[in-house]
Amino acid sequence: MALSFDVVVIGAGPAGYVGAIRAAQLGFATACVDDWKNEKGEYLLGGTCLNVGCIPSKALLESSENYERVAHKFAAHGIAVTGAKMDVRKMQARKDKIVSQLTGGIATLFRKNKVTWLKGRGRLIAGAASERYRIDISGGAGAETVAATNVVIATGSTPRELPGVPVDNDLICDNAGALAFGEVPKRLGVIGAGVIGLELGSVWRRLGAKVTILEALPTFLAACDDAVSREAWKVFTKEQGLDIRLGVKIGKVSTGKRIVKVEFADGEGQKAVEFDKLVVSVGRVPNSVNFGAAALGLKIDDRGFIEVDAHCRTNLPKVYAVGDVVRGPMLAHKGMDEGVMVAEHIASQAGHVDLDVIPWVIYTAPEIAWVGKTEQQLRADGTAYRMGQVPFLANG
């Protein structure tokens, strides 16, 4: 007989593991299935965020910011440092240790809260008469099937691919590759000036790379308030030396022995630039098709997101979806909130998430954060507003 659970969560990223723990705390027999493996073939919890996203990027941002302070900023404070050197291997080892402590921490939380960790890829199928759903788990210790009354899909997202720019995570990298460079590339190209491109570009620029960011959109940080993106543009390009090109159309991308050549067109005409590494960060796509639910009639919108209502209910009874795989900002804390809401909803409590008050943040220096609507959104909506600005400079 298949093991049976009140709640099975598919995916153990921030949305899934937090939802699973909350469901267990509310008294439900809960399991969480995840297929994330490291290069040694060990299963790890935490999803994108802990393994190749928020946590490692923030670790490298801190290391590189410390280095930049020592190398370029301490002198103005009268602190003379000679011979400061960056040991990239040591920086990466620190980052890896942080990641493994935190992923291990989730395993401990699962044990403490009695969440069963199922290792492998989950596939949702209809259940037999006495149960609602079954989840086939493959790739773990052996094939296994569990039964579930409620299912929470938290399968997250993966990097969007750019046609003609195949990621090999050696010369052409996605976020995972860009977080693992063994040395500082002399010339780094980044396609995409979104949050991930700016954060990763900043890390390697601070450590000495000449960074060129190629962005298709004609505007910089369009999601941000106009005044903030104008200020950020000045700081990143003029003060920090990030070479950001807007309105770029990427042409042929070819690799040589140790170089990547990118042909592109921008307002100035046709160009060809060589890089030692190229990072592709052009957004992320929801993982909405890898768990077999289409056969059950799960509704997916035309952008690939699982359709949900305000309480993250899908069109299938007792099947919920949370995190990057559904609409709304692709941010860890948004997924976590949705995970908690769904667990509370299953327990007939009144959890809810207001997407309009999820904070956004970009961990550049200076960091950029905002919450609620931007001025340009209010203008576009025709909403009356009053605007105020307080420059940090005015703050003693």
Cα separation, 308 vs 324, in Å, equals: 12
Size of the site for ligand FAD (CB under 6 A): 37
**Pick from 201, 155, 192, 226: nearest CA to 57:** 201
Q: Can residue 211 be called a binding residue for ligand FAD (CB under 6 A)?
A: no
Q: Can residue 290 be called a binding residue for ligand FAD (CB under 6 A)?
A: yes
Strands 144-153 and 3-10: parallel
**Pick from 80, 292, 250: nearest CA to 165:** 250
Strands (E), the chain: 3-10, 30-34, 115-119, 121-126, 133-138, 144-153, 157-159, 172-173, 187-191, 210-214, 243-245, 249-255, 260-266, 269-275, 277-280, 284-286, 319-321, 360-362, 368-370
**Pick from 328, 47, 286: nearest CA to 159:** 286
Rule CB under 6 A: choose which of 8, 9, 11, 319 binds ligand FAD: 11
Rule CB under 6 A: choose which of 175, 229, 288, 314 binds ligand FAD: 175
Minimum Å distance from CB 85 to ligand FAD?
26
Considering beta carbons, is residue 253 or 330 the nearer one to ligand FAD?
330
Q: Can residue 330 be called a binding residue for ligand FAD (CB under 6 A)?
A: yes
Q: Can residue 35 be called a binding residue for ligand FAD (CB under 6 A)?
A: yes
**Pick from 118, 107, 104, 113: nearest CA to 151:** 118
**Pick from 164, 243, 246: nearest CA to 204:** 243
Question: 């509370």: which residue's tokens?
Answer: 344
Considering beta carbons, is residue 11 or 264 the nearer one to ligand FAD?
11
Q: Can residue 196 be called a binding residue for ligand FAD (CB under 6 A)?
A: yes
Q: Can residue 291 be called a binding residue for ligand FAD (CB under 6 A)?
A: yes
Cα separation, 299 vs 321, in Å, equals: 11
Candidates 33-41, 82-90, 186-194, 386-394 — which segment interacts with ligand FAD by CB under 6 A? Answer: 33-41
Q: Which two tokens stand for residue 292?
A: 């077999």
Considering beta carbons, is residue 181 or 363 the nearer one to ligand FAD?
363
Candidates 5-13, 71-79, 201-209, 252-260 — which segment interacts with ligand FAD by CB under 6 A? Answer: 5-13
Q: Which two tokens stand for residue 384?
A: 């009356």
Amino acid at 210: K
Rule CB under 6 A: choose which of 7, 9, 16, 264 binds ligand FAD: 16
Minimum Å distance from CB 79 to ligand FAD?
29
* Residue list 39-78, contact with ligand FAD (CB under 6 A): 47-49, 53-54, 57-58
Candidates 7-15, 217-225, 264-272, 347-355 — which segment interacts with ligand FAD by CB under 6 A? Answer: 7-15
Rule CB under 6 A: choose which of 28, 36, 204, 236 binds ligand FAD: 36
Q: Can residue 121 be called a binding residue for ligand FAD (CB under 6 A)?
A: yes
Minimum Å distance from CB 285 to ligand FAD?
11
Candidates 165-173, 205-213, 284-292, 377-385 — which segment interacts with ligand FAD by CB under 6 A? Answer: 284-292
Candidates 21-29, 150-158, 212-220, 305-313 — which segment interacts with ligand FAD by CB under 6 A? Answer: 150-158
Contact 360, 371 (CB under 8 A): yes
Considering beta carbons, is residue 13 or 127 the nearer one to ligand FAD?
13
Q: Can residue 185 be called a binding residue for ligand FAD (CB under 6 A)?
A: no
Cα separation, 388 vs 106, in Å, equals: 42
Considering beta carbons, is residue 10 or 264 the nearer one to ligand FAD?
10
Cα separation, 15 vs 340, in Å, equals: 8
Rule CB under 6 A: choose which of 333, 345, 376, 378 binds ligand FAD: 333
Q: Enumerate residues 6+ apart whose C-beta is below 8 A from 254.
A: 260, 261
Considering beta carbons, is residue 38 or 290 the nearer one to ligand FAD?
290
Q: Can residue 106 be called a binding residue for ligand FAD (CB under 6 A)?
A: no
Q: Helix (H, G, I), strand (E, B), or coil: what is residue 89?
A: helix
Considering beta carbons, is residue 34 or 68 the nearer one to ligand FAD?
34
Q: Which two tokens stand for residue 136?
A: 């086939």
**Pick from 172, 176, 163: nearest CA to 277:** 172
> Which residues sit at the interface with ligand FAD, rule CB under 6 A?
10-16, 33-36, 47-49, 53-54, 57-58, 121-122, 154-157, 175, 196, 287, 290-291, 323-324, 330-333, 335, 363
